[in-house]
Amino acid sequence: MAIADAQRGLVTLEQLLNLGMSHDAIERRVMLGRLTRIHQGVFAVGTAKLDPRAKWKAATLACGDGALLCWLPAAGLWRTWAAPAGMAHVVIAGNGRAGHAEIAMHRMRHMHPEDVAEHEGVPVTSLELTSLHLAGLLTQRSFERSTIKAARRPEFSVERAIALADRSNGRRGVKRFRQIITRDLAAELRSLSELELRFVELLRHYDIAIPVINHDVESLMVDAVWHDAKAIVELDGFEFHKLPRDLRVDNARTRRLVLAGYRVIRFGWRDLADDPGGTAAAVISLLAL
C-alpha cells in the first residue's frame, strides 16, 4: 500500500475510507491480521513491529493534522538527547481535540510557522522549539549539552532561536534558553568530546578566555590553543596509564610545539573532575607567562 509505504507502514482510518474500504472491510482485515490497530484511527499494515520513529509517527497521525512530536521524544528524533521509552508526547494548536490514552498531548494557543518541522518523515517541533522545551525539563549541564548538539545540526538557526525566545516570554525555561543561545557558542560547536566540553565549562565558570578548540597548530591537531598567548592545553581522556609508545608520541608532539614557541600543559579527566580549581589556576598561570 503506497500510503503506508510513505508513512512508515502506517495508515489512518480516513485514508482507508478514502480508498473505498468500508468500516466492515477494515474490521475484517484487523481480525485477519492484515491491519493492526495502533491507536484509535491509526493502523499498521501487517503485524505491529514498529521502531520508535514509526511509533512517534503513529502518535502524530492519531492526533490529527498539525500534530507535532514534542518534548523528549522530539529530542530523541533530532538525536540531541537519548530517545526515551514510554508514551509519545505530541503538541497541537488550540483546545478542541480529544486526547488519547497512550499519548501525552500538549496544547499551544498558537503555533508559529517556524515552530513546525518534519524530520525522517515525522512531524516534529522545530529544533529550536524542541531545545526550548528541554530547557524546562533537563538540568543546566544536560540542557547545555543537548543545545550544543542541536546547534551543530544544519537545521538549527541561532536567529530563529532568538526570535523564538522573543515571542516566548513567560514560558517555562525561556530565560535559560536565551542565556545559552545568545552567548558565543563557537568553542562548544567545535568541541567533539565529553572531556573537551567539560574543559570549556570549567573555563567559563572561572571566567577564563575561551580558546580555539581542536585546531591545527604546526600541522598537529591540538585540543585547545590561545594563539595570542602562544599557549596550548592538551587533554587526556584515558584514566589508565598510557603505553610507552603513546608517551613517546605525546612527548614528540610537545617538543615540536615548544620548539615552535608554544607553552604546553596537559590535563586528564581526573584533573578536571577532582581538582577544577587547581586546573583553572594552572591555566591562568599558563596564560600569564
Chain segment 49-69, per-residue pLDDT in tens: 788 899 999 999 999 889 999
Which amino acid would we find at residue 72? L
Q: What is the pTM assigned to this prediction?
A: 0.65
Domain total of the chain: 3
Q: Which of 180, 209, 235 is the last residue of a domain?
A: 180
Same domain, 11 and 85: no
Q: Which of 153, 180, 207 is the last residue of a domain?
A: 180
Which amino acid would we find at residue 33? G
Residue scoring higher pLDDT (114 or 269)? 114
**What does the alpha-carbon distance between residue 235 and residue 124 come to, in Å, rounded to a whole number?**
38
- Residue 241: pLDDT over 60: no
Question: Could you report the per-residue pLDDT of 106-124, keeping only the tens digit for each?
Answer: 998 888 999 999 999 999 9
| Nearest alpha carbon to residue 190 among 217, 211, 214 | 214
Task: Give the count of alpha carbons within 13 A of 63, CB side only.
Answer: 32
- Residue 190: pLDDT over 70: no
Domain of 7 in residue numbering reads as 1-48
Q: Which of 155, 180, 205 is the last residue of a domain?
A: 180
Any idea what the CATH number is for the domain that residue 226 is in? Answer: 3.40.960.10
Same domain, 61 and 143: yes
Same domain, 95 and 150: yes
CA distances from 12 to 8, 132, 173, 228 (A): 12, 31, 35, 62
- Name the least confident of 3-17, 157-171, 194-208: 3-17
Question: Could you report the per-residue pLDDT of 6-27, keeping only the tens digit for each?
Answer: 787 799 898 888 889 999 998 9
